[in-house]
Structure formats: C-alpha cells, structure tokens
Amino acid sequence: MGRTDAELTESGKKTKDLIFQTAVKILKEEGYDKVTVRRICKESNTSNGSFYHFFKNKDELLAYYYTMSAEDFMEGQEENMKNADLYHQMLICYKWYIRYTSEFGLDFCINFFNSHNRAIDPMYMYNAFYEISRKCLYEKPDEIKEGFTADEIAKELCILAKGIIFDWSSSRGSYDIEHVAERMFTVYLDGVIRKRTDGE
C-alpha cells in the first residue's frame, strides 16, 4: 500500500487524509458503488496522479480505514489489552473489529468483503488487526495450547472474522453480528489458547 504515513511529508499526509475522508463521506452518504476514483478526485480537488501515488485502487483506499482504526483501538483499549491474558486479548481485539466493521454499514460489508478484493488478505497486504493479534500471540507463547502456532492462530482468527462478516452481509444483516461473533470466537479460542488461572 504505497508509502507508510511515517514516510510522507506533512503535505502528503494531509492530501492522503483528504482523499480518504472524501471517500468515506461518499460511501456513508451514497453507498459503495458511488465511490469511484474520479468522484473522489473531483470532490477532494486532487488529481488522479495524487490518488494513485497513495493507493492502488478504491479497495486499498478503504482498507486504509482499518489501519487508522487500529490506532483508535490501541488508544482506547490499551489498558484493557495490557491487563488481559492472551485469550481475552484476542476477544477484545476481534469483538472491537467486528463492531467497528458492522458500524461502517451493510453496503460497505457486502461490497468490500468479497473474493475479488485482495485488500482483505493479510498475506497480500498489511492488515492492522492481524498484526495486533499476531504480536500478542508471539508475546505470550506459554498461553498457546500445544500443537498450535502464533502464525496459525493469527491467520485463523482473521479467517473467522471475515467469514462471519461475509455471512452477515449475505444474510443482509439478519442477525446480531456481535453476539454471534463473540460466541464463535469463544468456541475457537477455547480450542487453541488456555485461560490464565486467577493465581497467575
């Protein structure tokens, strides 16, 4: 995904943020299909060249939403994450991810979470929540059950989250995604991570 924010000039960061905020505004007001590179550039008063300097396409642009959201997550949940065992760190992380995604709207989820969008593949491009969970898993290897690895669990949590969102989108939001997600993540985590006992 283009340059990282740390590598950009102050002017570059402002332009990138303007392009992104314009896309989000169009998405929330008019829906996914109305978010086009031409429309974004016109409404943000930037050039096509500027857009493609920062993003390869609109899906990569919208994936940037998660990079930014990860910063909000770490600021808001830092204390909870620091004090939790690995099992609950994973629950905190992915419950937040599911809530954050569903609040972006059904239209976004239906269009963004599909097999054609490589921006949701953590093996293809940076995925902030995959990296957060992976980092936590590597920091607490003793809490991972025998026979499982940090990399496997991080990837499978990501698969589970995308699967839940995809199914919820396919059913046009017919059930409480947060409730179902918490139950499914709990079942998965029970199998791969041991909970810390009160004395630990």
For the chain, the domains span 1-55, 59-200
pLDDT at 61 over 90: no
**What residues pair up with 116 in beta bridges, in sequence order?**
none
Residue 37 pLDDT: 93
**What residues pair up with 193 in beta bridges, in sequence order?**
144
Candidates 109, 75, 76, 73; CA nearest to 93 is 73
pLDDT at 98 over 80: yes
**Confidence band for 143, pLDDT divided at 50, 70 and 90:** very high
pLDDT tens-digit series, residues 38-52: 999 999 999 999 999
Torsion angle in degrees (nearest 10) through CA of 65, 67, 70, 72:
-60
Are the CB atoms for 138 and 150 separated by under 8 Å? yes
CATH number listed for the domain at residues 1-55: 1.10.10.60
6-20, 49-63, 165-179, 185-199, range with the lowest pLDDT: 6-20
pLDDT at 200 over 90: no
Residue 69 pLDDT: 72
Q: Could you give the count of Cα atoms lying within 13 Å of 7 in the half-sphere of its Cβ?
A: 6
How many residues does the structure list for the chain? 200
**Confidence band for 193, pLDDT divided at 50, 70 and 90:** very high
Are the CB atoms for 178 and 99 separated by under 8 Å? yes
Pick the CATH number of 59-200 from 3.30.70, 1.10.357, 2.60.40, 1.10.1740: 1.10.357
